[in-house]
Structures are given as C-alpha cells and as structure tokens.
Chains A and B, each alone.
Chain A
C-alpha cells in the first residue's frame, strides 16, 4: 500500500481539553473529506501534559522492529521542544475511530505508513501544544507571545529573564483556542529530527525483558496448541482424544468447526497432546489442487482482458507503428511471512467481557474480529497490544485472534493459544502467485515508445481495505507497474485471479511493488541489453522528467563503482545488476553484486543502495529498515517458495522453507540523499529493490534472464536441462 496519491482524503481537526487533575490534553479527530462528518467530541489524546510537566504520548503506530516508537517520539519532542527521552510512551488501545491512520483511515501500522501518518498529525498536535503553552505564559506575564519561546520543557521570556515550566502552564493552556494550522519548525531549526537518537526499545530487547504477545502471563492461565485443517477449506470431522487426555497436564480438547486445540497446564503438555490427537479432517473442494493447477489458472488469466488501471496516450497505435517489440511473461511464486515469533494470542472471555493480549498491526480489525467471535459488543473487547516479533504483513490479519477467542470461549479462565512453527507456515496469509505480461513497443534505437502491462493476481484490497480500490482495481497490486521512465503510451490492466477457497492471501513486505519493481526493472535491463547499451545509461536517458530517482541512480553508480568491472576468477561468474524505482513516497536505486559458481549456486556479495526518502527523522533507523528490507528481498528472490500438493502446503518449518542466514548475507551500504521533502516510507521498498537488482546481477553474471522466481530453482532447472 503505497498511499501515494491515494483516494483517501485527509482531514484532521485538532482538539484540546483540560486534563482531569490539571493539565493539557491535545489530540485529533479524523474524518474523510468526502463524508463531511462533524468532528467527534472525543479526541484521541495523542499528547497529555500534566501539572507536574510530565508529557505522555499515546502511540497509534505499533512497534514491530521498524522503529515506529522512536520516530513518533522524535517528531513530537521536536515540535514540543522537549527531550525525547523525557516522554512517557503508551501504546494506543484499539479504537478505529480515534487512532485511524490518515493514510489508510484505519488503525493500521503497515504500508510503510507510520512515519508518514505521524508526520501529518502528531507533528501538528505537538506544535499546537507548544503554541498554546507559549500563549498561556504570555498572558500570565502580560507580554506578547511573539516575545516568548519554548525550550527544553519551559517557556522563556528572555527580555525579562523569566521562565515557566510546561507543568505550570498546562491547565491554563487548555483554555486557549486550538490553532488548526500551528506554525511548524523549519528543517534548519530541527534539533531532534534528523538525528540518530537511541531507539527506545533496544535496552529491553537485549536483556530478555521485552514482552511480545507470546510472553504474556496471566494468573491461572492455561496453554494451548492449535491445529487448523491441513487441507484448504477443510473441517473437523471425527476426533479421538483418548490418548491426548491421558497425558499429564492436559486439561481439555477444544473443538471449533475448522480447528482443534489442546489446552493444558503447560506448553509442552499441550504440544504433546496435540500430537497424540487423532483428527479426521473433512477436506474441502480444493483438496486435490497442486501448485501446477494454481500456476495454470494464473497463466489462463494472462489471456483475459483486465480492468484498466492506467491508460496514457494511444498504446495500440504506438505498438502498430513501432520498429520493434519485446514481450515477456513473469511468474512469481507463493511466499510465506515466517515471522520469527509464531502466531499466538492470549484470551480471557467472561460473560460480559473479552480481553485479548497479542501483537497485531491492525488493532481496530483485531477488536472487531474478537467481538464477532466472542458474541460481545465491540466496547466489551479490550485489546492489549504488545511488541510484535515480526509483522511483514502477517499481523495485519486478525484470523488468529478470532480463532483464539472461539477456543477461549470453551475454556474457564485465560488461555494462551499458540501455533507451532509448522502451523504458522501452513496457515499463513500468503503472498499469492503473481503473473505478469509486459509488451513493449520499441523505436529504431531500441527505446520504449509504448508499455503494456497485464497484472494477474488476487485483489487483496477488496477484502482488506476496500477503499483502496478504484473501478475494481486493487491499487496496491498495480503500484509501480510502470517505472520512473518517460514512455508516452501506457496501458496497465488487472486480471483478477484469486486463490482457491481456504488458501488465504494477504500483504507481504514490499506489497505490490515487490512484484512490479522486479518485473519492470527486468524488462528495462533486457531492453538495454538488446539495444547494446549500459543498463544505467539506457535507463537514465528515459528519466529526464524524474529528477529524484535519477539522482539516486547517479549516487548509487558513484558509490558502487559501477564503472569499474568486477574481477573475474576461474570457475565462477560475477556480475552487477541495477534497479531504480519510486515507491512508498521514497526513491531508491540499488546495485547488487553476485557470484555464481559452476553448479549454479548464487551468492549475493554486496548491495549498495541510494535512497531519497525525503526528510529523515532518524537516519540510523532509515538505514536499518533498508538493510532489513534488502535481506528480506535477497532471501525471497534466491530460494523462497511455498508449494501446494493435494490442497496442502508442502513446506512446514525452516528446514523446508529456507530463509537467508548470516553466512549468505551480502554486505550492505545505504547512502541517504539529504532532502527536505515530506518523509517517505522505508520499511517496504528495500525488499522490492533487492529482488530486482539481484535478478539483474544474475543476468549480468550468467546471461540468463530469470523470469520465473525463485532464482535458485530456475538456475538449477536450467543446469539440469
């Protein structure tokens, strides 16, 4: 979800009120411009300044490793003129109305949107608070507010050498009119934003004290392991629980329509009990499907007319008049999220209340799913969110929360419902099979004059975020379907191809661009090759109207040593590949270096990335996110693939779904372009860029254009052929 030029309008009203016990509360109400709602009376209390001067910040964006807690604190500390370390940070409760992201109009942490959302709202809230505190001091001193300034938690009047603490002013400030467009600090005035301030979550993540969803402990809590149908769309049939109930510590077997759970006094008894449980699964209609069937369905969709996503100029005439033509089909596999923390959720259901302890990226959705499953009104459901042991899109879903609530309804007291790694791998919301056909019309010099891109894949947004569609087109899956290139005639269409019933599909790190950047940049690389031109020079010639991506391309060329050929050694082939794109409000260019041995084994040795992500709030977090995104992409493009046999997921654990390890990790350099444009997102794009750059580097090394991922499988098959 890039949210660039999204159909979602943004409007926020700043609201302030007096805190109980004295102090200032300031927040927002959100409404869609199109709906012209009146502001709700309750603000979301982003900021509270009490009479002791303590500043509490409610964090609407969850922490899943992307540094959201730290960045949000920096933004607020900057405009409020306080030390970020002095902020008291509180995770927001579930409340879709109060904590919706201005990008997605839902309480969502994803789509590289936290910082972009926070920049639009929390920054203004903090600036408004600063203005109101200054006005309160000026009133008390009977001076003009323009002669006062805020600094380090105080308002100062230099002329009279007076100062007051925020705590002494907060109650009075609450009586001021709330400025709807408070003056924001200029980048030259920043003291906190733009600095690599220490992450607030690091200390507890290195001493074992950090509490993730799976670490929650409640008085009297039971432990459960769960097994859902191994076959797509299957249901629970006969259950023989005699051996299970004989195991010491096992308390009960809970059964819902599509899953069973063994509840015990400890995790191991639950795990053993589940292994001993004999369940007859009643397979659904998808129970005979294999990967080949799913691939064939996607291939068939390539020949269907799609819904138009983008149409510029007259592509048909341009193709007819073109001197040359290039056409290529791309096939991308199913992928798993494989967060290191397996899916889990702790629930306590009573007659009139449901408490849920979890780690989730979309708390409003979690609350709604829990309420439906509990049969309780939404206000009776309390979501206690914790740190996420990885999100990557998997924890945008609330399937596991609904499941845990349904199980917990059968349990007396709180129960921690855990999925084994195998359960997690085999019941993911997969990045589904994605196919594309790109057809390019070429002029006499081999440059593109028309670009036709048919996109085949599921419409995730129809289920996940319906407003993120236009004319039936999932706006995420078509994001980055064309590159930052000046091509006069364009046609992009979307031929929807859903997974079979019972095979869930969802958002995976990098989302739409993680498919499209690979495809677009593979095509551009091939066109450069066919034209006999350098891949950078060929792209650059088409980027006159795209100065920001062109600048990062120039930077990565300089930093990577692109002009200097790689040394070649006997018995291996080495090559460099490039990729450049704009996505999530950021602009990236990457150069990958790979070494391919005689057996076809690919080793990615080095990746250099130049990024223009607008104004940088925390440069070290930006680098960390790009580094991590790159590793995620390298892992996927080389080896990752989920396959299906007889309606079942074949891979089960890290022995069969093999993630990149430290001994295979490339060295990574990230170079940030200074900018004062609005901040872009950095969690997603590294993945998209790495997939493309590695594929192009493999072509440079081997001469083989891999169009069906993963690369290692394609090269292995080619070596055998």
Chain B
C-alpha cells in the first residue's frame, strides 16, 4: 500500500510492501543511491541512515517502522554542521579509496560527533566497529573523526 515517508525534508509517496527495507525504498523508489547495499544483515554498515537523528542500518529497517520519523541520508549530510565538518575532514585527509563504504562511515560518525566533539579512540571504536571498509581506510577514518571534532569545537559559541 502507498505510504508517505519524510526523507531529507521531502515527502515521498511509496507503494511498496510493509516489510521492504528502507535500503531498497531509498535506492529504488526515492532514487537516493548514496545509501549502499553491502550485506543485508546489518554486519557492514554501508547502508547506515539517520532516523530521527539515530543511526539505523537501513537494510534491516522495514518501511513499516518509519511512520512519521524524519529520515536523513548521505545526500543531505551537508545540511548539518556536523556533516559539513566531517566532509571537510574527509576531503582534507583524503579518507575514501573505492568509497563504497564511506556513506555509511560518515553517517555513523555523524551520530557519534553530534553528542561528542572529542571522542576517545575507544568511543570511536565502539561506534565505528559496525562499519566495514575493505580498502582499509580505518586509520584515516579515525583521524577524520577527530579532525572534524576540532572543527566543531573551534566553531562552537
């Protein structure tokens, strides 16, 4: 049946089964392909999105669970201060290689930085261990999160 969902501030009318994971809703029906399919079982984090500000693995989040929640994807990450800081740090440190996992890396990191501008290594590990990177950019992801945190601290009132 047709459902109405809010993605990146826009309302989408979607006619898909209730059990359809948000991953495929976003990619197929909303044409937002920045959210990536990696494993389908919430083991790699490539499909991470924000649902009312919380990180969710969209491959195991059915559309029926979204309701009136506000969904944000990588395509709108730059609309938040944290998102812009992360993207700036990612460019500064040239974090991506193949880049396929990086949407999910950034979306996970954004939730961490929203509440903590100076995460410890252990805090970074706890959040980011859910995101695989086969190219091996882990060192730069860690440095990128810390650098973005310094941008946010510097701009804080």
A contact residues vs B (CB 8 Å cutoff): 64-67, 196, 198-199, 201-203, 205-212, 214-215, 217, 223, 248-249, 266-269, 271-272, 338-342, 387-392, 418, 420-421, 620-621, 624-625, 627-632, 635, 653-655, 659-663, 665, 667-668
Contact = CB atoms under 8 A, between A and B. Distances in A.
Contacts, number: 189
Given A214-B37, A267-B27, A340-B36, A208 B103 contact: yes
Interface in B68-107: 73-75, 77-78, 86-87, 90-91, 94-103, 106
B54 interface: no
B90 A340 contact: no
Given A203-B91, A269-B17, A421-B38, A388 B134 contact: no
A686 to B, nearest CB: 8
A630 B140 CA distance: 14
B39 interface: yes
Contacts of A630: 136
A206 B134 contact: no
Nearest to B97: A65
Given A340-B46, A653-B43, A202 B136 contact: no
Nearest to A632: B136
A421 B28 contact: no
A377 B41 CA distance: 41
A210 B99 contact: yes
Contacts of B131: 661-662
B134 A207 contact: no
A340 B132 contact: yes
B139 A199 contact: no
A268 B25 CA distance: 9
A387 B34 contact: no
A390 B98 contact: yes
Contact of B74 (A67, A207, A211, A660): A207
Contact of B96 (A201, A249, A620, A663): A201
Contact of A662 (B86, B91, B102, B124): B124
Nearest to B91: A202
B61 interface: no
A340 B36 CA distance: 9
Given A266-B20, A635-B136, 6 more contacts: A65-B135, A202-B99, A205-B96, A209-B34, A268-B21, A628-B136
Given A338-B134, A340-B44, A342-B38, A198 B94 contact: yes
Top 10 nearest A-B pairs (CB, nearest first) are A208-B34, A631-B136, A389-B100, A65-B98, A205-B99, A65-B97, A208-B74, A628-B136, A663-B125, A215-B33
Contacts of B156: none
Interface of B: 16-17, 19-21, 24, 27-29, 31-41, 43-44, 46, 73-75, 77-78, 86-87, 90-91, 94-103, 106, 124-126, 128-129, 131-142
A266 B75 contact: no
A66 B100 CA distance: 13
Contacts of A266: 16, 20, 24, 28-29
Contact of A389 (B39, B43, B98, B129): B98
Residue of A196, A208, A342, A629 contacting most chain B CB atoms (<10 Å): A208
23 contacts: A198-B94, A205-B99, A206-B91, A266-B28, A267-B24, A268-B20, A271-B24, A341-B98, A342-B38, A388-B98, A621-B94, A627-B137, A628-B97, A628-B136, A632-B134, A635-B136, A653-B40, A654-B43, A660-B138, A662-B129, A662-B142, A663-B126, A665-B136
A30 B17 CA distance: 54
Contacts of B141: 662
Contacts of A392: 134
Nearest to A626: B136
B9 to A, nearest CB: 15
Main secondary structure of the interface of A (DSSP, over half): loop
A248 B28 contact: no
A272 B24 CA distance: 12
Contacts of A249: 16-17
B111 to A, nearest CB: 15
A199 B94 contact: yes
Residue of A268, A627, A663 contacting most chain B CB atoms (<10 Å): A268
A203 B77 CA distance: 13
A548 B150 CA distance: 40
B54 to A, nearest CB: 19
Nearest to A416: B28
Contact of B33 (A211, A421, A624, A655): A211
B62 to A, nearest CB: 9
B98 A387 contact: yes
Contacts of B137: 624, 627-628
A653 B96 contact: no
A385 to B, nearest CB: 14
Contacts of B106: 206
Contacts of A338: 134
B38 to A, nearest CB: 5
Nearest to A209: B34
B33 A208 contact: yes
A624 B33 CA distance: 26
A125 to B, nearest CB: 27
A205 B90 CA distance: 10
A266 B99 CA distance: 25
Given A653-B43, A661-B129, A662-B129, A66 B97 contact: yes
Contacts of A387: 98-99
B87 A207 contact: yes
Contacts of B133: 340, 631, 662
